[in-house]
Structure 1
Amino acid sequence: MFFGLSGNVFFLGLVSLFTDVSSEMIYPLLPLFLTSTLGAGPAFLGVIEGVAETTASLLKLCSGIVSDRVKARKPLVLFGYGLSALARPLIAAAPSAFTVLLIRTGDRIGKGIRTSPRDALIADSVDPEVRGKAYGFHRSMDHAGALVGPLIATFLLSYLVTDVRSVFWLAAIPGVIAVLLIVFRVREVERHASASSSPVRLGMLPPGRLRTYLLILFLFTLGNSSDTFLLLKAGKLGMPPFRIPLLWAFFHLVKMLSSMPFGVLSDRIGRRGIILAGWSVYAISYVGFAFAATELHIWLLFTVYGLFYGLTEGVEKAFLADMADPAQRGAAFGWYNFAVGAGALPASIVFGLIWSRYGNVAPFLFGALLAAVAALFLAVAVPAQKPVPPSR
């Protein structure tokens, strides 16, 4: 046991930390590499991200369902992380933007294959009374990697290497460490399904309140646009470019520090109330961003908005695991990840269109309104579940 968590949860958290270190050593530098070194335009960068993330969303659904039908989840997790670890550093050798598109898609294919089986394996590996803590810990490690990766890249470029391609090659090291942790430290877990359960078929949403929860979550996601718009708002208010990466690092720090405490709290008082609080914080934050007028407002709002992630990311997954039968857990996480991914693209498109037509206040108010409506539906349509008493 590590920090009251099983070995699987602890080491899968480390896997996510090292994977995000590897990823975030590369991707903050990718736009500059594409435009300055390979001569691609901003539009092609959008194509790369759109194709990659759409592919990942579809595969998260399929891999979750497959993981319910096979005896072991670990091989899917290992293959997904291994594929990403192999593909990601190859960007260093890319001769063209199209090659980057292929490599980035390969990386996201790996993410799509591993994510839902990994989330289900975490649920398989812990007692119900500490699920919130487990998912909170995992998200904290993920955000820690997102914080450390850019700092390592900055240090390397400042003191040890002279070009971004060298940083991309060095990003292979934490990726390999992540894969080795899966091979040697992550264990398969025996699953126990109820007598009446059966695996979910592809294209079939899980039944009952789980389906209701996923549909409401999708509604919320339609108002949850890319956080890059928040950085754009900061720039519009005159924040100097050199302070924006610092703001982004601070944002990840807030998410990292808040994820596990709120996960633990959800184990004690129930999860639905924590999620409702998180969605309310989101709505309040977006109203704040709509009317922000100074750089100080932006820093304060990013602090509050970071708490939204701490309140929801791990707790939403724990709430899902509470409702899903073990035989359908992979499919449930597949649908969860698909709903979040499928809703993110139209959310950002709609947000951008509203911004272009009506200015930078209206889209934030639109996002806040959808969050409030989704929270109301969740409060009315999905019953709260009593916290699981600690096992003795």
Structure 2
Amino acid sequence: MTPQAKPMLLPPILRLFLFSMVLANIAGGMIWFLLPLYLADLGASVTQIGLTFTITGFVLLALQIFGGYLSDTIGRLQTIAIGSVGGLLGDILLLLAPGWGWAVVAIAISEVSAAAVVPSFPSFIAEQSTEEQRGRVFGISESIYMVVNVIAPLLAGFLASSLGFKAMIGIATFIYAIAVVLRIWMARNAQQTVDGNGGKPSFSGLRQQLFTTFGLITAGGLLLWLLVTDGVRDISMRLSSELVPLYLEQVGGLSIQNIGVLGALFGLGWMLSTIPSGWAADRFGERRSIAAGFFVQFVSFMLLVNADSLWSFGFAWFLFGAGVGTMNPAFQSLVSKAVPANMRGMAYGFFQTSLGFLSLPAPFIGAQLWERFNPQLPFILTGLLALVGMVLAWLTLRTRPSASKE
């Protein structure tokens, strides 16, 4: 009897999808990587920058669950295309913003794109893979996607230092517009290949899926502990992530171009770690990859606050990227296995919204710790919370869903 051929790890539609994601996120990464410095250039203080990310976080929280429900209902690609139009409008407004207050409005509008993409991206990848290969597919997909974190910071740093922030944002917006056109084309032409559950969006459908997802999580077990563990990660990261460019410039004394190099090293570490992490998650279980990722992040932040040169900052940031890349495929794989296929969008959206509410004050708190005590404190706390996350992951994520054919 002829053995059944194994399915392709990356089918053609997934390759095209990832190409569109790379284009869109090179553009988004260029803007977001230097956004705190752009806001400072528009007149915002450190506290106002922290407050900006807290305020705009509300928009993402308000829309993300609906984005997940829309993804489950009308389709992953269709939802991403709709959200991308909002993201393009936000980027145009950011380019035209005369001051940091108007930039807040632009950033809030841009979050429409994130609300559509965040739940749809992992859901689409899960649908294009078997359960036995899912960790590897997430790892490979994320490795390709993380080319963004190598190219975008270098390009942003070069353009902003040589042409200025406005020119850099204008070029990024043009690149994003190309990605939007491609996403709309995919949504219109791939409906028969990838579609939603065939229903029409409605308030009653949203409420039903929301209650079902809430029940799955509050029943205890794997989903609950995934939420708690990911919550620790999200809070720790948001204490300091928006302050990184300011820390590197004001404390580390690095130029904008050098900050771009560090961003590329972060992306390189992330990119190189995702494929072995996905393989390890499939072979040994996701818990080990998640715990290892937390530990590497702890080490990176301890090195960061003691760094005193471009090379030491670069090594710390490379390790940080490797830590994130080690844990992300395992997290996404584990969530996708723990919920029904027709509710993955809602589950990812619910997770991110719940975590967002928990971490919403974190950027503002991190900015206050910087100004009231010292700039190192938010980063030290981020590292210590990563240790807490490591212990939680090791003790609570023991149960792995049984492998079943899809």
Q: TM-score, normalised by structure 1?
A: 0.82
CA contact (8 A) 2:75 2:197 kept: no
Q: Which residue of 1 aligns with 2:203?
A: none
Give the direction of change, closer, same or farther, for the CA distance of 1:235–1:105 in structure 2 (3 Å limit).
closer
Q: Which residue of 2 aligns with 1:115?
A: 118
The partner residue of 1:332 within 325, 342, 347 is 347
Cα deviation for residue 42 of structure 1 reads 5.1
Q: Which residue of 2 aligns with 1:266?
A: 281
The partner residue of 1:240 within 247, 254, 278 is 254
Q: Say which is worse superposed, 272-281 or 323-332, in terms of deviation.
A: 323-332
2:22 is the counterpart of 1:17: yes
CA contact (8 A) 2:307 2:313 kept: yes
Partners of 1:359 and 1:302 in 2: how far apart?
A: 20
Q: Which residue of 2 aligns with 1:226?
A: 240
Deviation string, structure 1 residues 155-191 (Cα, Å, up to 9, x no partner): 65688xx564444333333223322333344542476
Cα deviation for residue 217 of structure 1 reads 1.7
CA contact (8 A) 2:236 2:386 kept: yes
Q: Which residue of 2 aligns with 1:60?
A: 64
Q: Which residue of 2 aligns with 1:195?
A: none
2:229 is the counterpart of 1:216: yes
Q: Which residue of 2 aligns with 1:254?
A: 269
Cα deviation for residue 108 of structure 1 reads 0.8
Partners of 1:47 and 1:363 in 2: how far apart?
A: 15
Alignment of 1:25-174 (within 5 A): 25-28=30-33, 30=35, 34=39, 36=41, 43-68=47-72, 70-153=73-156, 164-174=165-175
Cα deviation for residue 360 of structure 1 reads 5.4
Q: Say which is worse superposed, 181-190 or 248-257, in terms of deviation.
A: 181-190
CA contact (8 A) 1:33 1:164 kept: yes
Aligned to 2:361, what secondary structure does the other structure show?
helix
Deviation string, structure 1 residues 235-257 (Cα, Å, up to 9, x no partner): 57644335333222222222122
The partner residue of 1:6 within 3, 11, 30 is 11
Aligned to 1:85, what secondary structure does the other structure show?
helix
Cα deviation for residue 28 of structure 1 reads 4.8
Q: Which residue of 2 aligns with 1:319?
A: 334
Q: Which residue of 2 aligns with 1:199?
A: 209
Deviation string, structure 1 residues 296-339 (Cα, Å, up to 9, x no partner): 44333222222111101222111111111113212210122224
Q: Which residue of 1 aligns with 2:3?
A: none
Equivalent residue pairs, number:
382
Matched letter for residue 226 of structure 1: S
Q: TM-score, normalised by structure 2?
A: 0.79
Give the direction of change, closer, same or farther, for the CA distance of 1:301–1:318 in structure 2 (3 Å limit).
same
Partners of 1:62 and 1:113 in 2: how far apart?
A: 8
Aligned to 1:223, what secondary structure does the other structure show?
helix
RMSD: 3.5
Partners of 2:145 and 2:317 in 1: how far apart?
A: 18
2:176 is the counterpart of 1:175: yes
Q: Say which is worse superposed, 258-267 or 42-51, in terms of deviation.
A: 42-51
Matched letter for residue 76 of structure 1: T
Segments of 5+ residues of structure 2 without an aligned counterpart are 1-5, 199-207
Give the direction of change, closer, same or farther, for the CA distance of 1:105–1:352 in structure 2 (3 Å limit).
closer
Aligned-residue identity in percent: 22
Deviation string, structure 1 residues 125-171 (Cα, Å, up to 9, x no partner): 22112222332234334432243234445565688xx5644443333
CA contact (8 A) 1:270 1:387 kept: no
Segments of 5+ residues of structure 1 without an aligned counterpart are 193-197
Aligned to 2:210, what secondary structure does the other structure show?
coil
Q: Say which is worse superposed, 306-315 or 342-351, in terms of deviation.
A: 342-351
Q: Say which is worse superposed, 118-127 or 43-52, in terms of deviation.
A: 43-52
CA contact (8 A) 1:251 1:303 kept: yes
Q: Say which is worse superposed, 353-362 or 328-337, in terms of deviation.
A: 353-362
